[in-house]
Amino acid sequence: MSENIRKPHIVVINHQAANIHSVGKALERSGAEVEITDSAESLMAADGAVLPGVGAMDAAMRALEELKLIEPIREYAGSGRPMLSVCLGMQLLFPESDEGERSGLGLVDGHVARFDVDEPSEDGSRLKVPHMGWNAITFTEPNQDRHPVFRGIPDGSYFYFVHSFHCMPNDSQDVVATTAYGGPVCAAVARGELVATQFHPEKSADMGLKIYENFVRHVAETVASRVA
């Protein structure tokens, strides 16, 4: 990040269902000024935001509702400022999920489906659910055409996944990367400044840190372009 660009202020949304400290440390290491908060006011004042998540969609949406964060997150996502969602955080972007009964944020069209345990894996055995472990991802666009958060990540790079449900966007243009698990599975999406990964960058060694570094740099450059 250029010395002429100030450290961006990035909020990690704390809804009590995420490994927020690992995410915060990765962002700090990448050059961000980090605030972990459940405050709508702090979110709306941020240069960038991260919505992490582990666990179940219903529980996470209930927590966001109790914290009065659902509408602020939607408003923030519509503001044109960068937002990165991780794992369950990516699933929360969709309007509905097979996992529960509560509606999601509805920021990406589509739905979240459970893995079909009857679907055979590559060796002919049944898929294990949850899908857990290191998987390679394949990008849908060449490096120069990707969202800045994903530039410089080689095709075939491995990332760490832990999930029983997977996202199915209605618009194929929203899918920026896939992985293979009983067939192609959406691994990352991007719609404008809204970016999300099904995998955990903070658990994915150097390539995962590269994504956070890219995100922090992109947030900083976005801030600089607004004030130029």
Strands (E) in 14-104, as ranges, are 33-37, 48-51, 83-86
Rounded Cα distance between 171 and 79, Å, is: 21
Q: Give me the pLDDT at residue 119, please.
A: 61
Rounded to two decimals, the pTM is 0.93
Q: Give me the pLDDT at residue 19, please.
A: 78
Rounded Cα distance between 219 and 107, Å, is: 20
Q: Give me the pLDDT at residue 118, please.
A: 64
Q: Which candidate in 9, 15, 87, 218 is catalytic? A: 87
Q: What is the DSSP letter of 8?
A: P
Q: Give me the pLDDT at residue 14, please.
A: 93
10-residue mean pLDDT profile of the chain (228 residues): values are: 74 86 94 96 98 90 96 96 97 93 95 80 74 96 97 97 96 97 95 97 96 98 83
Q: Give me the pLDDT at residue 139, please.
A: 98
Q: Which candidate in 15, 202, 213, 218 is catalytic? A: 202
User: Taking the CA of residue 203 as centre, how many other CA atoms within 13 Å lie in the half-sphere pointing to its CB?
Assistant: 19
Rounded Cα distance between 56 and 100, Å, is: 8
131 is catalytic: no
> Beta strand pairing status for 194-197 and 184-191?
antiparallel
Q: Give me the pLDDT at residue 16, please.
A: 80
Rounded Cα distance between 35 and 56, Å, is: 24
87 is catalytic: yes
Q: Give me the pLDDT at residue 200, please.
A: 96
Q: Give me the pLDDT at residue 173, please.
A: 96
Q: Which candidate in 131, 163, 200, 218 is catalytic? A: 200
71 is catalytic: no
Rounded Cα distance between 179 and 36, Å, is: 30
Phi, psi of 102 (to 5 degrees): -80, 145
Residue with tokens 């067939």: 183
